[in-house]
Structure 1
Amino acid sequence: MTDTTTRRGYEGNGGGSLHGKVVAVAGAAGPAGQATLLRLAEEGATVVACDADAGRLAQAVDAARFAHGGATVTGDTVDLLDLEETRAWAAKTEKEYGRVDGLVHLVGGWRGSASFAETDLADWDTLHNLLIRTLQHTSLAFEGPLKRAGDGRFLLVSAVGASKPTAGNAAYSASKAAAEAWTLALADAFRKAGGEGPPPAAAVILVVKALVHDQMRADRPNAKFAGFTDVADLAKDIAGTWNKPADELNGTRLWLTPDH
């Protein structure tokens, strides 16, 4: 498989209805997850959210339900560091709704240092679990359901640092690079599953410099956040991936930042 890169001219138009789609969101309680639940619900998808933080997850699910009356938005507390628990979540979702059309992987975290020499290798252990192990588990758990649904999407949000690491972000950048490589391997599995035809699903990497949300702006009113992607814009682009054919998207990086 050839890894292709789609530059920032790509935009999900957000106008395509996701009615009838069932989309799972891993790491749904954070700002990006909350924005994604809102957007997917607005587009008519059945949204199945999970997070390890039951309280914040409940708030995110309730907010999406309230904003879009009639939308089906559910939440499950899942330990994504447990492969069998993650598989059980995928199986439960497919059994309950008859299909899974998407998995949006939003589990994040950051650790860094002032210089390369000051890197704390404990940060690698933490980021390995947050950014790599959880992704391994969701991809292994949802590969089958996404292929069976047809036109499925496995979406990873990554960072510019994966391909342009800086001295103080060695552990973070290496973790993101590993997550990207794992996702591209999943894309190759989808390609092979399609045989001579199009893949039954697409694994896609959405690349940002960093994310910004309203609370960050309120906390730092003088900050410019240059090149940052608003979580609402990220959510729009996530929903928009269903507006392009799987064979055009599978194995690509979608750049959502001008600075790369």
Structure 2
Amino acid sequence: MNRKAVASVAGKAVVTGASSGIGAAAVRRLSKEGFEVVAVARRADRLHRLAEETGARPHPLDVTDGASVQRFAAGLGSCDVLVNNAGGALGADTVAETDPADWERMYSVNVLGTLRMTQALLPLLRADHGGTVVTVTSTAAFTAYEGGGGYSAAKYAEHALTETLRLELCGEPVRVVEVVPGMVRTEEFSLNRMRGDAERAAAVYEGVDHPLTADDVAECIALAVGLPQHVNVDRLVVRPLAQAAQHKLHRGPLFRD
């Protein structure tokens, strides 16, 4: 079956935070599954390179800009899958010393960005045979840790949004899925969190044998989306084998070469 025919069966998927990491990996994976993918992020140059690689449609957009989100939704036409992935952590300071502006930024992107995109695309997701909302949160959404107060607070809120949405859509043909990664090593997450300090960013993963990759999480997204429409994965927690829990991490060899 050719690519165009597959895409007409799979439908249209919107992925936010698509310029790097899990978002870019999800664009690649869903494109392979035959979806017509719309890749959404702020960095147009990265989106265009991803579009050349995958055939996805790039759409530069800041999910914290409500008016831009509404314009995007008005011109979309249809949507079968929304992957709310835009987010991230900023800083690793204690509650006593953190800058409230960092918390505001994390809440704006992780929580309100997800809210805006979901509200704007929900009419399209409800149409025809129904759709799927996938929100990528974090294990920080249910386990707080030192230096992670702002990020945990944002992810707790994003989790609450997702759980509430599923309850409110009960009786409608829209699946609401939460994918919850533990330790994932991407090119930017920890580097951004540590404000460009490459040494501190690398130390997060030091000695961990095979942290998750963005591709691993994208595989989980594709798995949940690819199930029959009557099958809903409420919450899929995925960690590397070396991470038994948020505070239980093995540092050292785990696999034989």
Normalised by the length of structure 2, the TM-score is 0.78
Higher relative contact order, chain-length normalized (CA < 8 Å, sep 6+): 1
Match of 1:32 in 2: 22
- Aligned-residue sequence identity (percent) comes to 25
Cα deviation per residue 1:29-78 (whole Å; 9 max; x = unaligned)?
A: 0121221111111111111111111111111222223xxxxxxx101112
Cα deviation per residue 1:173-231 (whole Å; 9 max; x = unaligned)?
A: 0000101111222212221xx2xxxx311111100113224799xx8598344574211
Judge conservation of contact 1:139–1:186 (CA < 8 Å) in 2. no
- Measure, in 2, the Cα distance between the counterparts of 1:92 and 1:166: 41
Match status 1:63 vs 2:56: no
Cα deviation per residue 1:99-129 (whole Å; 9 max; x = unaligned)?
A: 3110111112212334332222221111111
- Relative distance call for 1:47 and 1:188 in structure 2 (3 A) is same
Q: Counterpart amino acid of 2:108?
A: N
In the TM superposition, 1:147-226 aligns within 5 A as 147-191=126-170, 194=171, 199-213=172-186, 223-225=206-208
Work out which of the residue numbers 78, 84, 88 in structure 1 matches 2:61.
Answer: 78
Post-superposition shift, 1:244? Answer: 2.7
Judge conservation of contact 1:112–1:170 (CA < 8 Å) in 2. no
- Measure, in 2, the Cα distance between the counterparts of 1:225 and 1:21: 38
Match of 2:72 in 1: 89
- Relative distance call for 1:227 and 1:145 in structure 2 (3 A) is farther
Secondary structure at the aligned position of 1:232 is classed as helix
Work out which of the residue numbers 32, 50, 56 in structure 1 matches 2:40.
Answer: 50
Match of 1:8 in 2: none
- Measure, in 2, the Cα distance between the counterparts of 1:226 and 1:248: 33
Judge conservation of contact 1:209–1:227 (CA < 8 Å) in 2. no
Secondary structure at the aligned position of 2:10 is classed as coil
Secondary structure at the aligned position of 1:79 is classed as coil
Work out which of the residue numbers 112, 132, 140 in structure 1 matches 2:91.
Answer: 112
Judge conservation of contact 1:147–1:190 (CA < 8 Å) in 2. no
Judge conservation of contact 1:202–1:246 (CA < 8 Å) in 2. yes
Judge conservation of contact 2:21–2:188 (CA < 8 Å) in 1. no
Judge conservation of contact 1:156–1:183 (CA < 8 Å) in 2. yes
Match of 1:232 in 2: 215
Post-superposition shift, 1:245? Answer: 3.9
Judge conservation of contact 1:101–1:149 (CA < 8 Å) in 2. no
Normalised by the length of structure 1, the TM-score is 0.78
Secondary structure at the aligned position of 1:212 is classed as coil
Secondary structure at the aligned position of 1:115 is classed as coil
Secondary structure at the aligned position of 1:249 is classed as coil
In the TM superposition, 1:2-17 aligns within 5 A as none
Ranges in structure 1 where 5+ consecutive residues have no aligned partner:
1-16, 66-72
- Measure, in 2, the Cα distance between the counterparts of 1:33 and 1:215: 12
Q: Counterpart amino acid of 1:20?
A: A
Post-superposition shift, 1:26? Answer: 1.1
Judge conservation of contact 1:158–1:206 (CA < 8 Å) in 2. yes
Judge conservation of contact 1:100–1:149 (CA < 8 Å) in 2. no
Match of 1:253 in 2: 235
Work out which of the residue numbers 124, 135, 138 in structure 1 matches 2:103.
Answer: 124
- Measure, in 2, the Cα distance between the counterparts of 1:226 and 1:184: 33
Q: How many aligned residue pairs are there? A: 224
